[in-house]
Amino acid sequence: MELLHVIIKSGPSPRPLAWSLEVSHTLGGDDWRMIRAFGDREHCKRLWDLRPERKRRKARAKGKEKVTCSTQFANPKPLENGEMHVAIGEGVSARRVRLSFRATHPEPHHYYTVRELTLAARCLCHGHATHCNVDRKGAKCDCQHGTCGGHCQRCCSGSKWRPHEPCEAARDCACGERGECTFDDNGDILCVNCTENRAGPLCDHCLVGFYNAIPDGPCVPCDCDPEGSDGSCIWDRNHQRVLCACHPGFSGPKCESCEDINAVFPNCVVEITTPTCKCDPRGLVDSNRVCDDICECKNNVIGERCDECAPGFFGLSADILEGCLPCYCSHLADSCRIDRRPHPYPDVVLPLGEAWAISDDDLQETMEPSLDEQGKPFLITYEVEGWESFYWLTNTFSGEQLEVYGGEIRVSLYWGVARGDTGGSPTVGPDFILISHGGKKLTYINSSHENAGQLELVASLREGSWYQESEVATRSQLLDVLSDLRSVMIRAHFHNDQDEVRLEGVEIRSSHSAKEVCVCPNGYEGPHCSKCSWTHVKIKRASGSQPSFECVPCGCNMHAGCNTVDGPCGECQHNTTGPHCERCLPGHYGNPVTGGCKPCACPLYEASNNFSPNCALAGPDGDEFVCTQCPDGYTGDHCEMCDSGYWGSPTEPGGSCIPCSCGGGPCHANTGACLVCPPHTEGERCDQCQDGYWSGGEDGSCVSCSCGRGALSSACDARTGLCACAPSWAGQTCDTCAKGYGDVESGCPTCRCGIAAVSPVCETENGTCECTAGALPPHCDTCQLEYWDLTADGCRGNCPVIDIEICSFSALLVVFYRAFKFLSLRLAKSSVDVVR
């Protein structure tokens, strides 16, 4: 189980002064470990030897928590009903939890009480269970979404899936037939058990000692010599061959030979006959004296055996006169090493056509050459009479070209002379010129070419054959030009009587010589420190300065690049925003001016459980944060708890806080069970009306049933409000007589309609029957005055003259009879009421 937070509520007393929170991972509790301590400064040091922290301890994201002692609750106030909320964060698991109270406040508060204790924890179910079964053996999740396992850690179908996603969301395995799919801690696909000699997160690389000549092709063994290499290699696509990574002193594509021609393979040391030989011949002034007791090292070599380059130098080799080459590093650093990894620079075939112009040797005079049918630039010599003409590559091969150092330039051209003997002679001059943007100019050695026709020119891009102002250029001077190359110029004038020249091909051949890897200062990068890091901009320095440029930080707080120092920032990175990337993006926290911005976890990183759109640092120091915009229903520093009136599991993936369904009353924060119901309601959710009430009020509130005198009880249907009526009663509240009954005041007796009634059913309110003509209400069982002869059709009216007295007397008797009967009934009812 993962422990999330602990809440301790005191009773009518102060809180304890010093206490600790401990966890155990065993059933017997024999491995108790303290994870938090609380107290004042004295007790933090005396009880636990911990440095007290004044600021409040925030919950951390996943990872092991450092044990701390907080003074957060050291104040005895409040003196009653104080609370202590401790957020644990993720990653703290426990089988048992123990609170160890160690000290109380001094007099007069020398006591404490614990009224309520809340421990919040969760099972590890990867978001695929809402419940888990806990027994003495442990916890087992009730898995959903097609997952199986004690922790819902796999799909029941056996397919692969991202944790916290249902198995229905399983994705195609990107490993193909080269490996098996699984997932890393971030939920990304990870291939394991790679086949076909492959490796890598997606089985998309060859194992060390293997290579593939075709992308996604089979990985075949490097077949490097085991004595001369570490077994690794790459495929050189330009030369269609394998290049192995050689140990020092070995060379060849497969490290099958010695770097020193005097050494003997496979040991690659000069054969000796004396056991005292110890000097490395590559670093010796005289390589034939490897067996001397004292090794005499070359200028740039150190070590008792002359086997190390001096600081500021690299690439120990017998072919180097001084033993090691000086670090170039663009004049920015003096520490470098040799890069032994094979990094072949691809051969470059430069385009012909309009990429070339004709110029003099100083680029003062220029013109466009003509193009033949194949697009090759050619020149009729009289067009540039008086020039030392050169082909000039305008912009195709320029800028930083340090990687070509050690290679060579190869040119193919044709030139011809005028017919007849004109007495002319070949000219002498450099075949190549290199010019930098800063105006530095290097010329290749002067030469002449006697025979007209097809001509091949070759120049090594190494020091020794290039000149700067009549002096042999150093390695550093050659690299300075190559670092900021403006143009390559190729000789186009070879004879005084030359009449034409045509450029037919230009190629830059790559080099396999030793390469330096410099330790660059901040803001600079690249093997030669010749590039600016993406948060810096390159500024040219004054001509002749060393270094020739400077990398100046952009005004973007190291979170974006720029084109000029004061110019606008590019797209801000590291979760920052603002004109100078000086603010964190919404949903992130940190100080972009001094560092980066991290995503908020409010309380989880998952979008489904990241409830606050923003968060901020908790203080000027440290990396703790608080969520600043918890929505309604959420509380806590990280929106990790439900607020009063809400319940749920916000720390569970997919969980949230929802309003209590308690009619406005409070509920339990975890289960939603109502704690106090509104008047006249009951039930776990306060969704039921008490007896005698029903949900007929505004907003479904419970109101009184108001059952009438004819109801069997005071209770009614809680949903409809209908009362249970006695047989002679009707209506929602049983306050009217049923059909066939009448006279509410009399208790709804059966209707007593006489022979002259229209219907045997009487009025429910007063029991009156509807009579036919001449019949006397309320019961239609006698005739009205001056009516006689009662029948179903009513009474006849207008008594005959001869019998008028008899008829009227009879009618009068009927009136008296009815009055007597009515009085008798009333007296009888009054007697019954008195008896009751």
Sequence ranges of the domains in the chain: 2-122, 348-511, 600-659, 750-835
Residue 744 scores a pLDDT above 50: yes
Q: Are 768 and 777 spatial neighbours (Cβ–Cβ below 8 Å)?
A: yes
Terminal Cα-to-Cα distance of the chain (whole angstroms): 70
Query: What is the pLDDT averaged over residues 247-259?
Result: 85
Query: What is the pLDDT averaged over residues 799-816?
Result: 55
CATH number of 348-511: 2.60.120.430
Percent of the chain with pLDDT over 70: 87
pLDDT at 578: 92
Residue 453's pLDDT band, with cuts at 50, 70 and 90, is very high
pLDDT at 342: 63
Q: Which residue has the higher pLDDT, 543 or 691?
A: 691
Q: Which helix (H) or strand (E) holds 806?
A: helix 804-835
Give just the sign of the alpha carbon dihedral 43, 47, 49, 53: negative
Residue 613's pLDDT band, with cuts at 50, 70 and 90, is very high
Tokens representing 267 are 């040991």
Q: Which helix (H) or strand (E) holds 832?
A: helix 804-835
Q: Look at domain 2-122 and name its CATH class.
A: mainly beta
Distance between CA atoms of residues 556 and 170, nearest Å: 41
**C-alpha pair distances (Å), 770 with each of 352, 355, 741, 752, 779:** 123, 121, 14, 11, 8
Q: Which residue has the higher pLDDT, 510 or 410?
A: 410
**C-alpha pair distances (Å), 672 with each of 367, 666, 677, 683:** 88, 9, 13, 12
Distance between CA atoms of residues 43 and 106, nearest Å: 13
Distance between CA atoms of residues 832 and 783, nearest Å: 31
- The matching CATH number, chosen from 2.60.40, 2.10.25, 1.10.3470, 2.130.10, for 600-659 is 2.10.25
Judged by average pLDDT, the poorest of 268-272, 352-356, 568-572, 578-582 is 268-272
Distance between CA atoms of residues 86 and 90, nearest Å: 13
Strand partners, 32: none
Q: How far does Cα 689 stand from its chain's mean position?
A: 49
Tokens representing 101 are 């109270």
Query: What is the pLDDT averaged over residues 554-572?
Result: 87
pLDDT at 27: 72
Judged by average pLDDT, the poorest of 459-468, 514-523, 562-571, 802-811 is 802-811
| Same fold? 2-122, 348-511 | yes
pLDDT at 600: 92
Query: What is the pLDDT averaged over residues 23-52?
Result: 86
Percent of the chain with pLDDT over 90: 33
CA angle 551, 554, 557 (to 5 degrees): 125
Tell me how crowded residue 779 is: count the other CB atoms within 10 A of its CB. 21
pLDDT tens profile 201-210: 788 888 888 9
Residue 657 scores a pLDDT above 90: yes
Tokens representing 346 are 């691809």
Q: Which residue has the higher pLDDT, 454 or 266?
A: 454
Give just the sign of the alpha carbon dihedral 783, 787, 790, 795: negative
pLDDT tens profile 91-122: 577 778 899 999 988 877 788 888 888 888 77
pLDDT at 60: 45
List the one residue out of 164, 206, 161, 207 whose CA is nearest residue 181.
161
Q: Which residue has the higher pLDDT, 146 or 101?
A: 101
Strand partners, 198: 206
Cis peptide before 547 (omega within 30 of 0): yes
Residue 274 scores a pLDDT above 50: no
pLDDT at 811: 54
Query: What is the pLDDT averaged over residues 156-183?
Result: 63
Distance between CA atoms of residues 367 and 154, nearest Å: 74
**C-alpha pair distances (Å), 156 with each of 125, 133, 149, 502, 546:** 14, 19, 8, 75, 68
The four Cα atoms 333, 338, 341, 342 give a dihedral, to 10 degrees, of 100
Give the three-state DSSP class for 22. strand
DSSP class of 723:
E
List the one residue out of 277, 284, 290 whose CA is nearest residue 302.
284
The strand pair at 69-70 and 52-53 is best described as: parallel
Q: Which residue has the higher pLDDT, 215 or 36?
A: 36
pLDDT at 809: 54
Residue 819 scores a pLDDT above 70: no
Residue 827 scores a pLDDT above 80: no
pLDDT at 834: 40
Q: What is the mean pLDDT of the chain?
A: 83
What are the backbone angles phi and psi of residue 443, rounded to the nearest 5°? -115, 145
pLDDT at 374: 87
Tokens representing 300 are 């740039």
Residue 447 scores a pLDDT above 60: yes
Distance between CA atoms of residues 427 and 443, nearest Å: 16
pLDDT at 504: 92
Residue 135 scores a pLDDT above 80: no
Q: Model's pTM, two decimal places? A: 0.49
Distance between CA atoms of residues 831 and 211, nearest Å: 119
Residue 59 scores a pLDDT above 50: no
Question: 3-state secondary structure string, 68-127?
Answer: CEECCCCCCCCCCCCEEEEECECCCECCEEEEEEEECCCCCCCCCCCCEEEEEEECCCCC
Query: What is the pLDDT averaged over residues 765-781?
Result: 92
What are the backbone angles phi and psi of residue 183, rounded to the nearest 5°? -135, 145
pLDDT at 802: 46
Question: 3-state secondary structure string, 252-300?
Answer: CCCCCEECCCCEECCCCEECCCCCCCCCCHHHECCCCCCCCCCCCECCC
CATH number of 750-835: 2.10.25.10
Judged by average pLDDT, the poorest of 26-40, 59-73, 507-521 is 59-73
Q: Classify 835 in phi/psi space as left (phi over 0), alpha (psi -120 to 50) or beta.
A: alpha
